[in-house]
Amino acid sequence: MSHNYATPLTPEKRLARVLSRIPADWPLAIDRQPGPTGAACWRARLTPPGHDALDWTPPQDTMVDALEAAWRQARALLASGTGA
């Protein structure tokens, strides 16, 4: 009997996955600020070609979460066919 167990993605694998999906010609900005509890809050934004810079993502606990949120935001913009 074979077993097919999915292994959870490590933060490094998640980062590599999201960075591989962002085209190299899309400017990317990452911001880290202290949060209310002293822990860092991360924000990110992308600028797809032909569009203005998107809004910063809401503060996230990790840089990977902020990058994934920015990627989802950019995909939603492109899917809607509207400009920023």
- Tens of pLDDT along 71-81? 999 999 889 87
Residues 6+ apart with CB under 8 A from 13: none
- Tens digits of residue pLDDT in 1-48: 566 677 788 889 999 999 999 999 999 999 998 877 777 899 999 999
